[in-house]
Amino acid sequence: MATVLGIVAEYNPFHNGHAYQLRQAKQQSQADVTVVVMSGNWMQRGEPALIDKWQRTRLALLGGVDLVIELPFQFAVQPAHLFAQGAIQLLSALGCTTLAFGAEHPDLDFETLVANQPTNASSHFKQFDETYPTLFNDYLQAQTGMNLRASNDILGFSYVAANRQLERPLEILPIQRRGSSHQETQLDSEATVASGAAIRYAVQSGDWPSVARMVPAETLAALQKNQQVTWSDYWPYLRYQLLSTSLADLHEVYQMSEGIEYRLKQAALTSTNFDEFLRAAKTKRFTYARLQRLCVYILLQVNRVELPTEVRYAHVLGFDRLGQRYLNQVKKRSKLPLISRVTDDWINGPYRLDYQAGLMRQMLTKVDQDRLQHAVIV
């Protein structure tokens, strides 16, 4: 039986740490083919991708991935457990047998942590004046003695939890993460591996010599050639939505809760840029990631009933020759529709939110994101 390696990624952008993880995962799993489920134009923490999904797909394929599938928007911009749920469902439907992920502490007993998570956690923590992740991690540490506070460890926990729900779970392969912590924005002057956040900060600061040390040559060229997009570019559109939408309608936005719409509207009224707005809107109960995800839902006008919980399709972003052969095998046995070209039927149907997410970027960059695009082939 073939070993099909599955990886969940954002590759924002593809850097030396990703290349290391990919090499290690392929070597340790002895993979016959590598499939990556990758976020599209919006990231899990509610940030726009620095360069678009087609450019990032090409870099992933050049870096050694065989097949890239888009993680649908309904899962891509979500808290870790829902992000993981969609990604693992998709990897399973694509026939993956092994799941590799980077972790700060790969020796953690993820299965024990999952077995000790609270039931109905959302209501369990509702009365406390702290963020949900802090309370959740405090609970797990009290139950198991294990600390689950590092970003990639938390994602790993979510992957293992989602994997346990599968009829045929994948084999788990945690890989030791190298470099600075996930949200560290400072670059070590000697290091060749850094967090995505630090690399994005260096790109936006124009520190190209530092970026060149941290990313493959193809990534450096793509970053220098293509327009980067940040929340600053979307701020005027977001501010307009917040100021022109009634509080009653804002309340109906997906994941809007606890009256935060009042605070968001007031912050939009008094702020002159996105960073200032986030600081003004921040509360103890809402993490910056949660606020940013809300901003994405507001920007795209996503309401409470628009995000299904099941995977409904697999959008093919790109492949190499090995990936193409594997894709032909998947087509023969998978019940999941495989989209290689986005048609009007898909845009007006299940793919609508993904199309809207791409269209918003297209307005800024003038680069088509779906209608005229074909899978990247290397």
Q: What is the pLDDT of residue 40?
A: 98
86 is in an annotated binding site: no
Residues comprising the chain, all counted: 378
102 is in an annotated binding site: yes
19 is in an annotated binding site: yes
342 is in an annotated binding site: no
Fold exhibited by the domain 4-225: Rossmann fold (3.40.50)
Q: What is the pLDDT of residue 136?
A: 82
d(CA 24, CA 173): 10
d(CA 292, CA 47): 7
116 is in an annotated binding site: no
Q: What are 54-105's pLDDT values in tens digits?
A: 999 999 999 999 999 999 999 999 999 999 999 999 999 999 999 999 999 9
101 is in an annotated binding site: no
Is residue 155 within 8 Å of 86, Cβ to Cβ?
no
16 is in an annotated binding site: yes
Radius of gyration of the chain (CA): 20
DSSP class of residue 215 equals S
Q: What is the pLDDT of residue 188?
A: 73
124 is in an annotated binding site: no
Q: What is the pLDDT of residue 304?
A: 87
> Hey, what's the torsion of the CAs at 290, 294, 299, 302, to 10 degrees?
130
Tell me which residue of 159, 90, 46 sits closest to 335, measured CA to CA: 90
Q: What is the pLDDT of residue 135?
A: 80
Task: Characterise 254 by phi-psi region: left (phi > 0), alpha (psi -120 to 50), beta (else).
Answer: beta
Q: What residue ranges do the domains of the chain occupy?
A: 4-225, 231-299
115 is in an annotated binding site: no
Q: What is the pLDDT of residue 244?
A: 97
323 is in an annotated binding site: no
Q: What is the pLDDT of residue 128?
A: 52
Cα-Cα-Cα-Cα dihedral sign, residues 162, 164, 166, 168: positive
SS3 283: strand
SS3 68: strand
Low-confidence ranges of the chain (pLDDT < 50): 127
Q: What is the pLDDT of residue 151?
A: 86
Predicted model pTM: 0.94
13 is in an annotated binding site: yes
177 is in an annotated binding site: yes
User: Going by C-beta distance under 8 Å and a sequence separation of 6 or more, which residues neighbour residue 217?
Assistant: none
Q: What is the pLDDT of residue 163?
A: 97
15 is in an annotated binding site: yes
75 is in an annotated binding site: no
Cis peptide before 13 (omega within 30 of 0): yes
User: Going by C-beta distance under 8 Å and a sequence separation of 6 or more, which residues neighbour residue 227?
Assistant: 51, 364, 365, 367
349 is in an annotated binding site: no
